[in-house]
A and B are shown apart, each in its own frame.
Chain A
Amino acid sequence: MSFIEEFKKIKGSGAYILLAVLLLLPICIQGVLGLGPIVTDYKYYVTTFGLFCRLFLSVAIGLLISLSFYNEYRRKGYLNVILNGHSFANLIINKMLFFYTFILVYLLTALFISLGFQLFDGSNIGLYYKELLISFSFLFITSILLINIHMFLCMFFNQHTMISLIISVLCSFLNVFIVPTQLWIMFPWSYPTRILYFASLNTLDFVTILLITICSFALILYYNSINVRST
């Protein structure tokens, strides 16, 4: 489970505190503002997760990945790996596993906080747990897609890993305008938000998202295999 060691690499940089802020701020504020009889059940879940998915999730992913790669490329951390006989490809796979695990835990934390508000509000989770599970599963899948995209950006712009962070912030801004339009399917950063309203999506949309996610895996693995790390 060496990918857990990736967690320690950006410990102490303040990244985890920032990530916690980016999670707690929207969920808690939206949770408090949504208390009352107006929004209940699944709609309350959407209320708590709405802005988190629209604005904060892609920034959190961009931040996590950019900082992780910053240590490798800018601080030449990857040299320690290579000079000890391990391949750069293995390093990337460890990172991938770490990012997926971290985001899963991150989203689960968000879900638990949201569930806390829902229970406090008196929502009956038993009535909509299936919708919750489907929505959450696809939320995780779309987060994986964003992780793959940002990893690719970091690997591509290896000396400028913060470009990935800048793109995540700018795409969060654009999300505000693109999510309500028909153009959302062309903009992967809008997928986590649209997934919350999965009932309004058709099968083709789901298939498109899954296909793009699979292609992103292939792209990352292919780029990783052809990428000859130069010092």
Chain B
Amino acid sequence: MSSFINIGKVEFQKIGSFKLILLIIISALITFGLSLSFILYKKEYLLSEGLMEIQSIISISAYFATFTLAIFSAINWYYLISFENKNGTWSILLTKPISKFKLLMTKHTLHLVMYIAFNILYTTASFILLIIMNIEFNISEFLKLQFIFFLVAITIPYSQLLFHLMVKNGLLAFSLTIIILFFFLIKDIIPDIFAMFIPLLNVDNVWIDIKNTRIITLYCIESILYGVIIFLISIKNNYYTYE
């Protein structure tokens, strides 16, 4: 366990702790800024439709958080995986007495830590947004909604990981982020029966019927399974050698 923490710490320092922390803060700030701008721009409409309540505001901020998360996770995987491809340093890492599994687990753990940090800051940003908008809310309900987002949004970074595994060049993989955005934008025209089974769209689907516990649980499980499957694919295959 201690060696895991040690490797994680060293990996974090190698990439640049300041860089990563700045990335999280900027992502959260951008989410906050976009959400606030949108809500202020559409304030009249939201008030008239009775949408100035916690669920709608959280779903709006989640919508923008999805975009920033897509870019944030692309950059994160670039530093964790594609950076090694770019520098050819897999040849050093794979020929030293360190378990490949441990190394990859550490990278995944570091990514999860960054994802959690992003969510913490995003939760803070949403909290501030609700305060600014003078919306009354129940803390437990707020935390529940944020936790649901945390679970379903895991599909986004793991979809990014797929791109980074398929395309060795990190910047080309980054350009495929547009595909994630595309699926979000066409979600409304995809028949619901198909949309339910595209894990990537869970982060949007979940807000449609937030009170239905069964459906929400299904989405959360589907998202976690998706993440686990991609994680298993990433550590099983030889994506990190010369071939």
Contact flag (A, B; Cβ within 8 A)? yes
Q: How many B residues are at the interface, by size bracket?
A: 10 to 19
Q: How far is the CA of A118 from the CA of B120 in the complex (A)?
A: 48
Q: Give the chain A neighbours of B167 by CB distance below 8 A.
A: 14, 18
For window 41-61 of A, CB contacts with B under 8 Å fall at 51, 54-56, 59
| Interface contact B181-A176, CB-CB below 8 Å | yes
Partner among A25, A63, A177 whose Cβ is within 8 Å of the Cβ of B175 = A63
Chain B nearest Cβ from A212, distance in angstroms? 24
Q: Which of B150-187 contact A (CB under 8 A)?
A: 167, 169, 171-172, 174-179, 181-182, 185-186
Stretch at the interface among A107-115, A164-172, A195-203, A222-230: A164-172
Q: Are B185 and A162 in contact (CB-based, < 8 A)?
A: no
Residues of B within 8 A of A51 (CB): 182, 185-186
Asked if B235 is at the interface of the complex by the 8 Å CB criterion, the answer is no
Query: Are A62's CB and B190's CB within 8 A?
Result: no
**A residues near B185, Cβ cutoff 8 Å:** 51, 54-55, 176
Closest to A170 in B: B71
B34 to chain A, nearest CB (A): 8
**Contact, CB under 8 Å: A173 / B181:** yes
B172 and A169 contacting across the interface, CB-CB below 8 Å: no
| B67 close to A (CB within 8 Å) | yes
Contact B182 A33 (CB under 8 A): no
Complex contacts, A55 vs chain B, CB 8 Å? 178, 181-182, 185
Known contacts A51-B186, A173-B71: A165-B171 contact under CB 8 Å: yes
Closest to A34 in B: B189
Taking the closest CB of chain B, its distance from the CB of A143, in whole angstroms, is: 16
Check: A26 CB closer than 8 A to any chain B CB.
yes
**Chain A interface residue count: which class?**
20 to 34
| Contact of B182 with A56 in the complex, beta carbons under 8 Å | yes
Q: How far is the CB of A173 from chain B (nearest CB, A)?
A: 6
Contact B190 A33 (CB under 8 A): yes
A180 to chain B, nearest CB (A): 11
Q: In the complex, what's the smallest C-beta–C-beta distance from B189 to chain A, in angstroms?
A: 5
* Interchain CB contact under 8 A, B175 and A18: yes
Question: Is the CB of A22 closer than 8 A to any CB of chain B?
Answer: yes
Using Cβ atoms and an 8 Å threshold, which residues of chain B touch A14?
A: 167, 169, 172
* B71: A residues at CB distance < 8 A: 169-170, 173
**Selected contact of B178 from candidates A29, A30, A59, CB within 8 Å:** A59
User: Residue on B with the closest CB to A18?
Assistant: B172
| CB-based contact A62/B189 at 8 Å | no
Q: How far is the CB of A24 from chain B (nearest CB, A)?
A: 12
Is the pair A25, B179 in contact by a Cβ cutoff of 8 Å?
A: yes
B169 CB, min distance to chain A CBs, angstroms? 8
- Give A60's nearest chain B residue, CB to CB: B175
Q: What residues of A have a CB within 8 angstroms of the CB of B175 in the complex?
A: 18, 59, 62-63, 165, 168-169
> Given A63-B172, A162-B171 in contact, is the A169-B186 Cβ separation under 8 Å?
no
Which partner residue on chain A sits nearest B168 by CB separation?
Answer: A14
A66 contact set on B, CB distance < 8 A: 171
Question: Considering residues B175, B176, B185, B186, which has the most beta carbons from chain A within 10 angstroms of its beta carbon?
Answer: B175
Q: Are A25 and B182 in contact (CB under 8 A)?
A: yes
Tell me, in angstroms, the Cα distance from A168 to B174 when the chains sit together: 11
Given contacts A29-B186, A33-B186, A176-B185, contact A166 B178 (CB under 8 A): no
A26 touches B177 (CB 8 A): no
- CB-based contact B186/A30 at 8 Å: yes
* A interface residues with partner B (beta carbon < 8 Å): 14-15, 18, 22, 25-26, 29-30, 33-34, 51, 54-56, 59, 62-63, 66, 162, 165-166, 168-170, 172-173, 176-177
Binding site for A on B (CB under 8 A): 34, 67, 71, 167, 169, 171-172, 174-179, 181-182, 185-186, 189-190
Cβ contacts A to B, 23 pairs, < 8 Å:
A14-B167, A14-B172, A18-B172, A18-B176, A29-B182, A30-B186, A33-B186, A34-B189, A55-B178, A55-B185, A56-B178, A59-B175, A59-B178, A62-B175, A63-B172, A165-B171, A165-B174, A168-B175, A169-B71, A169-B175, A172-B178, A173-B67, A173-B71
A18-B167, A168-B175, A173-B71 are known; give 17 further A-B pairs, CB within 8 A.
A14-B169, A14-B172, A18-B172, A22-B178, A25-B182, A51-B182, A55-B178, A55-B185, A59-B175, A59-B178, A66-B171, A169-B71, A169-B175, A172-B178, A172-B181, A173-B181, A177-B34
